[in-house]
Amino acid sequence: MNATEKALVLKVGCFRESDCWVKLFTPSRGIFNAFAFGGARSRRRFVGCLDPLSLVLFSIGSDRRGSYAVLSEGSLLHNFSGIRADAVATGLAANCIRFVEAVDIDPSDAAPVHDLLLKTLYMLDAGHGSADFVPWFFRARFAFEMGYNPDFTACGTCGEPVGGGAGHLFGVEHGQVLCPTCLSAGKPLDGLARPVSTGVLRALDWIRKSSPDEWARVVMDREVRRQGSQLVELFVAYHLGLSWDNGMYKKV
């Protein structure tokens, strides 16, 4: 029995003369492969649907044994032409997609990640977004959507709101802030911890609550950006086991 679902096409390949395999990302199934038999020559069932970076409404079924997914037809919803026409936007979109592919997403966690990725792509498609912000903003929001959601506004030990000035620590392992008072009282944080300013904590809290369409309007101090991006990379490496190295994501 076929089901109709919106899917983002990630990759497409051909085999035999007219058949295609398609790597898809849907909010209910996560990332999976399906076959579009006759897709390479179809003028009716898959018009404009089998290109990477396309949002398509697919009719998805399976073979008789239920061993693999089969696409019977598709209707193109959006092809992100603005991204395709801009080399920088294409690179940023590819960076975000590669990160999603590198994480082993359980289907139960796919819906919020799918929504985040689509909102990011629509933002880039509209001609917004900066290479200075989009990749690490996306990775941070991804981690938060996966449940690694620290409280950046209060000390994790005493509960006092984060005040002004420096002297705070952020514990990567438990996603916990330690205020200067608790630090001076000798209350340690378990595991890896890094000094962090109030400005960085406020920036990370804003990223946690923001939507990608707001990222284009952000103005951030260079030092806040540097500290924030480094902290996000540590957090992602610890909790998701990924780091960016020589143009690709690697398991750590």
Q: What confidence tens digit (pLDDT) does each residue in 115-166 have?
A: 999 999 999 999 998 888 999 999 999 999 988 889 999 998 899 999 876 7
pTM: 0.91
Q: What is the distance of C-alpha 176 from the center of its chain? A: 22
What DSSP designation does 80 have?
-
Give the amino acid at 40: A
Distance of CA 227 to the CA centre of its chain: 20
Q: Domain ends where: 54, 79, 104? A: 79
Min mean pLDDT across 29-38, 54-63, 181-190, 204-213 is at 181-190
Do 141 and 229 share a structural domain?
Answer: yes
Taking 80 as the threshold, does the pLDDT of residue 211 lie above it? yes
pLDDT value of position 232: 92
Count of domains observed in the chain: 2
How wide is the angle at C-alpha 238 spanned by C-alphas 158 and 225, nearest 5°?
75
pLDDT at position 79, please? Answer: 96
The pLDDT score that the predictor gives to residue 207 is: 93
Which domain CATH number covers 150?
Answer: 1.20.1440.120
My answer on whether 241 and 119 are in the same domain is yes
Segment 167-182 shows an average pLDDT of 89
Last residue of a domain, one of 79, 109, 128: 79
Q: What is the mean pLDDT of residues 28-48?
A: 87
Q: Whole-angstrom Cα distance, residue 236 to residue 204?
A: 13
Laid out side by side, the sheet with 168-171 consists of 176-178, 168-171, 193-196
The pLDDT value given to residue 1: 63
Give yes or no: residues 215 and 181 share one domain.
yes
Same domain, 113 and 57: no
Output 204 or 166, whichever has higher pLDDT. Answer: 204
Residue 18: band (very low, low, confident or very high) from pLDDT cuts 50, 70, 90: confident
pLDDT class for 192, splitting at 50, 70, 90? confident
53-91, pLDDT tens digit by residue?
Answer: 999 999 999 888 878 899 999 999 999 999 999 999 999
Within this chain, do residues 218 and 108 fall inside the same structural domain, yes or no? Answer: yes
Task: Give the other-Cβ count within 10 Å of 180's Cβ.
Answer: 14
